Each structure stands twice: as C-alpha cells, then as structure tokens.
Copies of this chain bind each other. A is one copy, B any other.
Amino acid sequence: MFLKNAWYVACTPDEIAEKPLGRKICGEQMVLFRPQEGEVTALDDFCPHRGAPLSLGFVRDRQIVCGYHGLAADCSGKCASMPGQRVGGFPKIRRYPAVERYGFVWVWPGDAALADPAAIHHLEWAENPEWAYGGGMYHIGCDYRLMIDNLMDLTHETYVHASSIGQSEIEEAAPITKTEGETVVTSRFMENIMPPPFWSAALRGNGLADDVPCDRWQICRFTPPSHVMIEVGVAHAGKGGYHADATDKAASIVVDFITPETESSIWYFWGMARNFKPDDANLTATIREGQGKIFAEDMEMLEAQQRNVSTNPHRKLLMLNIDGGGVQSRRILDRLRLIEAERVTEIGGQS
C-alpha cells in the first residue's frame, strides 16, 4: 500500500548523467532519462515492440532509443520512429510526470492528469546559498512505513546510534506529537546536557566550544507521501535553545525522502542541510560520511525488523507514546489512500 498520486524522489541527477536509468518506484518499472540538458523524462521501462527494457537503450535527438531493435520514443511516450517501420499504429508508452527540482528528480507514479509540480514542497535549504547540502542513497529491504516510524521516533538513537548521536537523555525527554493538517510533528527538547560526539564535532566545525552544557532539540516533520525533515541542533545552554542566535548553536536539517520500490523495499535518499559554513566542502564531506555510517546502522535494524514482521504478519505491535509520530503519519496515509481508492471507484462507475 502506497499513495500513487504523489511526488516521489526518483533519483539524483548524477544517476542519469551518462545514460538512462531503470528504476522501480511504487511498483512501477520506469526508465528515467535526460532528453537534453535540463530536462527529465520518465516512461514505462518496456518497449512495446518486444518487451525489452528501454533503460538498456540510449538517448538520441531528445528521444529514447530501444537498445534491441531501435524503436525510438519521444518524451510523451509516442513512438516516433523505427528503422524500416511505419509506427503510426504503435501503442503509446506510458509517461510518468517527472521534474527536476531542488537537486533531485521527482516522479509521479499515479494518474498523470493529477500531477502538479507546484505541489512539491518548497525546500528553502536547496535554493538559498546560505545553506549547504550533502547526502546519499541506500536501497533497503523494508516497508517504507517502518522507515517513517524510525524517523518519527528518535528514541532509537540511544540504542542504534550509541556511539555518535545517541545519549541517555534522549529517552528521558518525552516527545510531543501533533498533527497539523497533513503534517505530523514530533518534538523533543533536552536541556543542559553534554553534546554527544556528532554534535561536539558540529560545534567545533562551527567554531564553538564543544565541551560545555547545551540545549538540544529534534523536531521531526512528516509530510505525505513519505518525506521526513528533521530540525536538529544544539545551542550552548541558556542561550535560547532552538531560538538561540546562529553564533551560539550548531543546527541543521536531516533530510529524508523515502521512496517505496515494492511493498517491502525502498530507495532511501538521506542527507543533511546546514546553514553554517555552507562553502566548506570538506565539512560537507565529513558530515556526509558520518551520516552514512549512522543510516547504515538503521538499515541493518530495519531489514531485520522487516523479516520478523513478514514472517509474523498477524502479530500486533505496540503503539506507545514514542510511536505517536509513526502512528499519526500512518493514519494520514490511510486516509489519503482511501481518497485515492474512492476516486478510482468513481471513475470506474462513470465509464
């Protein structure tokens, strides 16, 4: 179960720089390619001639050419030509709305008529030169909702990430979860604590003392279909915490775009946006490396959890206060999914 009528991150631009990319998104096997500099297109990755994947082909004159027998399709999915053939009667290839924005390629795996690029959330950090971004992508064998649960309940940092961002004070501070429209926000504030290793390094990186008591915060924001942005940071204690001046804190946004591949696997685009020292490429690389290790720890846990849940499909799991973020996010997803299903039924009824 996933929302189909939604924008998902499909890939990063470097993945389609050299040649077309075949990728399954929400169960739809797509080929993603650049017809020309600055454009992106997504089509069904299935040549109507003999079923070869178009992603094994190449781009020529703004068209994708099948690498088996040369059928060429334009960006609308229309068969434009094939050597020695009249292609007028050839079936059209399904097109998926696709757009490049904020440093990512986005696709809409559902009904193309409903796709509006304006619906992609504005990402200030991606366009403002005062911010820097670094990130990566993992393919993980788990239901995308297990990853939402993970990110909306950072209690796990104490256990899964004990050596980097975990600390016992996290679990002592109860999180508060609120739903605002289609957004779920889980917040946790810790006061007058010593910063864990990752944040000590960030303070140093920001030119601040790293061995003094701090206030720490984590504000997780889920928005459909499966994006989680987490404001995280530490400020020297007594300077205003989350609201402290930039000169007294190290803060950033953990960026998580979770794209379902199948019911039990995801393309996980993770990264961090920061608004300090945005031009320090070494710092970006260092943070990226540390974050990559942290998310690899989650990967092992999530895949093990998925195997356990898959082999025990009827067991009910607990829903505690710390699970509120995940629970409320799932509720929104269930509601939106129902609306999607009703729309399909209605259309079916009219035809």
Seen from chain A, the residues whose Cβ lies within 8 Å of a Cβ on chain B are 29, 45-46, 48-53, 56-57, 65-70, 82-85, 90, 149, 153, 155-156, 158-160, 168, 171-172, 174, 300-301, 304-305, 307-309, 311-312, 315, 317-318, 320-323
Expressed in whole angstroms, the Cα–Cα distance for A67 and B298 within the complex equals 11
Contact B69 A308 (CB under 8 A): no
**Chain B residues positioned under 8 Å from A48 (CB to CB):** 317-318
Contact A305 B68 (CB under 8 A): yes
A128 CB to closest chain B CB (Å) equals 35
A182 CB to closest chain B CB (Å) equals 24
Expressed in whole angstroms, the Cα–Cα distance for A53 and B309 within the complex equals 10
- Residue from A50, A65, A320 having most chain B Cβ neighbours under 10 A: A50
Contact B70 A155 (CB under 8 A): yes
**Chain B residues positioned under 8 Å from A84 (CB to CB):** 155, 171-172, 174, 321-322
Contact B46 A312 (CB under 8 A): yes
Minimal Cβ-Cβ distance residue in B for A83:
B171
Contact A83 B51 (CB under 8 A): no
A31 CB to closest chain B CB (Å) equals 11
Expressed in whole angstroms, the Cα–Cα distance for A311 and B172 within the complex equals 49
Contact A308 B46 (CB under 8 A): yes
Minimal Cβ-Cβ distance residue in B for A44:
B312
Contact B318 A70 (CB under 8 A): no
